[in-house]
A and B are shown apart, each in its own frame.
Chain A
Amino acid sequence: MADGDTQVPELSFPLDIPCLKRGAMEGTKPFVAAPEHQAKLGYPGTLVPDWKERALAKMKELAEKNRAFQVYLDICVKCGACTDKCHYFLGTGDPKNMPVARQDLLRSVYRRYFTFAGKNFPWLVGARDLTEDVLHEWYSYYHQCSECRRCSVFCPYGIDTAEITMAAREILDSIGYGQKYSNEIIGKVHEIGNNLGLRPKALAATLEGLEEDIEDDTGVTVRLPLDEKGADILLITPSADFFAEPHIDGLIGYAKVFHEAGVSWTLSSYASEAANFGLFIGSYENMREVSLRIRKAAQDLGVKRIIFGECGHAWRVAYSFLNTLAGPFDFLDQNYPIPQHMLEFTWDEIQKGTLRLDPSRNDHIRLTYHDSCNVARASGMGDYPGGQFEIPRNVIKAVCNNYFDMDPDTIRESTLCCGGGGGLLTDDLMDLRVKGAAPRMKALQQVTDEHGVTHMAAICAICKTQFSKVMPKYGYEMDSILSIHQLVSNAIILTGQDTGGDAKDDDTEDAA
């Protein structure tokens, strides 16, 4: 769907509940994966003739391999607690975007074939046959879920729609009906090592260019090393950090922090990607294969620590799954968290006093912070519950004088998805992305009205890309979205840096 067709939703407050608009998003679906994208991931190229049998067999297998899938399909009581919690429902009004209704698209089939009630009294419990229409409906609505887990916070049983979405996508993949965007990207990581398909030579050239930029800006030589054996720290960061705005300013921030902390670090051209889209398609095997690249890179380079840059779902896979998928990491220094988040590192350094920071260098910015869903609800930071909310804010407050939180119902564990997560950050879903961003945009508009907020920071590559694309539709400049380490980069005064009247980072000039 072209950008121009989208009706930007007018909400009167961020969590404004719409009336049901049946079928509103019925036609929406992303491009289907081509046979060559499917093949690289070990899936059938096109829809297999015996898709029905194989889909049901896969469903049975998942119920036997994944407790969440089994339990969540059984125990929903249809209380309605989740019905107004999904940003895609709030933005579109389509009832099938209510979390429980989205689950029911699959639960109805599960009941029909695997439960006593559904086998014998399908009309009573809303069970239905698996038909081709159902399959297309799955493809459509399971690609209208960003797996952000907001519904799971509010469910009295913790039912997580993301688990059902991932299972549905895995079933679709296994019968040859995959999504182009995610599967093509995973193929690139398997082949080349990052989502962009950026080759080592190009990556080296990019990093050299950045080193020159920093030297031009500050007069100080700050290195961005690549494939340096014997470095202490391996930095794994989303490949968007190598080329896109505002991501790249975040990467410059990491480099400056490492430089001032006096540690040796390196990037890897073999594992040049933090993102792991294997999560989005619910594939343990693909997620594992991508993760193992990081293990191999760490071993080959002989590093002692692994640190991850700003990326939401990547941090979920890193924090919650990396030890499972690619561990044990007994060859790394056990005195540090494995893996560690860049913000944990920077906050430690700030507390130690190794960084010279001048927050007034961000005085042209009035800032709010968007908690990224996967960081907020699917991972942690620091050594206490909720560190993932405090540490980013602590760092922000150390580098920025004007900070304001958005509506408490839209931040921290209740944060809203940016609208582009979970494998939906593709132009063929732009209409959905704009609508799904509506609740967050309304919360942002509120702090703009109340406190004159000009910019929003995020620590997720997907959030940053999504917001730079959809914010203009809501009256903000595309560079109103910032990396936290971009703010750090602005505020940090490097040892030996000439601060006499140097220009501020022109990427963050006042946009309001």
Chain B
Amino acid sequence: MLGIVFALLFYAATAILVIGVAAKIRTYARVPAPLKIPTTPAPKTGFGVVLRMAREVIFFESLFKSNKWIWVFAWMFHMALWLVLIRHLRYFTQPVWWWVQLAQPFGTYAAFAMIAGLAGLWARRVLVERIRYISNPSDHLMLALLVGIGASGAATRFVAHTDIVAVKTYMLGLMRLSVGDLPADPILLVHLFLVAVLMIVFPISKLLHAPGVFFSPSRNQIDNPREKRHLAPWAAKLEG
């Protein structure tokens, strides 16, 4: 019974996540940028833009320029999240890929870095007057959700060991559309439930910053307006 409920939840969450984000990406890709608006100085070549974007999404370059505290917490959280996500691939692959094996020891402890980063960001949201002013309830809830996922996940390993072999069997089954049994471990169920919630809210929340940053004209445009004419389709019609 539990297996079926969570199976339905995860199939629905996956569908919402994939279709929702794909629809958003489609919109971002189709809406034209009528003018060249890179924040300058900007790269003059496509390769330069790739590098700029890489520095932005890997090192959070602009955030680093802006505020070292936000940068420390945000970067720690995001990088730890990557490690944790990579480590979790072991529950969806058989045999486990070598680079996932490699991430295993770091991935488990990354949970603490992730929670620490989130705690830092949350503290700033409460303690810094300016950031408190701009925060909505949803901003706090998002942090609560992520902390909940991190804490419950860490607990399944460090507090009350869950039957991870059974979980993996269940997940591998889901991927072949065969629903098996899920261990009735309350911490595990909380963890899985919160992850499903995160997947569902992704396409309707600020989590869209993840795909969105790649479509930001101020960061992804090449600074070559004098050399190459840029014209949006709707603007071309004005020239009639």
Residue numbers of A with Cβ under 8 A of B are: 17, 19-20, 63-68, 70-72, 74-85, 95, 98, 100-101, 104, 115-117, 121, 123-126, 149, 152-160, 163, 284-285, 288, 319-321, 323-324, 327-328, 337-339, 376-380, 383-386, 388-389, 413-414
Contact = CB atoms under 8 A, between A and B. Distances in A.
B163 interface: no
12 contacts: A78-B134, A80-B131, A81-B67, A100-B134, A101-B133, A115-B204, A123-B137, A124-B136, A154-B65, A156-B66, A158-B219, A160-B39
Given A78-B206, A125-B136, A385-B43, A324 B65 contact: no
Contact of A116 (B63, B131, B204, B212): B204
A153 B208 contact: no
Contact of A66 (B31, B56, B209): B31
A156 B74 CA distance: 11
B134 A320 contact: no
A377 B225 CA distance: 14
A117 B202 CA distance: 11
A510 to B, nearest CB: 35
Given A163-B37, A385-B42, A78 B131 contact: yes
B contact face: mostly helix, strand, loop, or mixed: helix
A498 B67 CA distance: 56
Contacts of B141: 124
A384 B224 CA distance: 10
A125 B204 CA distance: 11
A385 B41 contact: yes
B94 interface: no
Nearest to B124: A80
B213 A75 contact: yes
Given A72-B216, A319-B225, A158 B39 contact: yes
Nearest to B42: A385
B185 interface: no
A76 B209 contact: yes
B176 interface: no
A68 B37 contact: yes
Contacts of A157: 209, 212-213, 216, 219
Contacts, number: 210
Interface of B: 24, 27-28, 31-37, 39-44, 48, 56, 60, 62-63, 65-67, 70, 74, 121, 124-125, 128-131, 133-139, 141, 204-206, 208-209, 212-213, 215-219, 223, 225-226, 228-232, 234-235, 238
Given A158-B62, A378-B40, A80 B134 contact: yes
Given A65-B31, A68-B218, A379-B40, A324 B229 contact: yes
B216 A80 contact: no
Contacts of A116: 204
A39 to B, nearest CB: 21
Given A78-B131, A80-B128, A95-B133, A67 B39 contact: no
A72 B219 CA distance: 12
A410 B96 CA distance: 51
A67 B137 contact: no
Nearest to B35: A321
Given A64-B31, A71-B212, A339 B39 contact: no
B31 A160 contact: no
Nearest to B65: A154
Given A78-B206, A149-B39, A156 B56 contact: yes
Given A64-B31, A377-B40, A158 B216 contact: yes
A374 to B, nearest CB: 10
B218 to A, nearest CB: 4
Contact of A75 (B40, B121, B208): B208
Nearest to B43: A385
A324 B37 CA distance: 12
A68 B213 CA distance: 11
Contact of A19 (B24, B67, B129, B226): B129
A85 B130 CA distance: 12
Given A74-B24, A74-B212, A323-B226, 16 more contacts: A66-B31, A67-B33, A68-B33, A74-B208, A76-B206, A77-B139, A82-B66, A95-B134, A156-B66, A157-B209, A157-B213, A158-B39, A319-B225, A323-B230, A386-B41, A413-B40
Contacts of B129: 19-20
B62 A320 contact: no
B161 to A, nearest CB: 34
Give the 6 A-B CB pairs with smallest separation, nearest first.
A75-B212, A158-B218, A154-B66, A385-B41, A126-B136, A80-B131
A378 B37 contact: yes
Contact of B205 (A117, A149, A155): A117
Quick one: which of A66, A117, A123, A388 has the most chain B CB within 10 A? A66
A76 to B, nearest CB: 7
Contacts of A386: 41
B229 to A, nearest CB: 5
B42 to A, nearest CB: 6
Contacts of B44: 383-385
Nearest to B60: A156
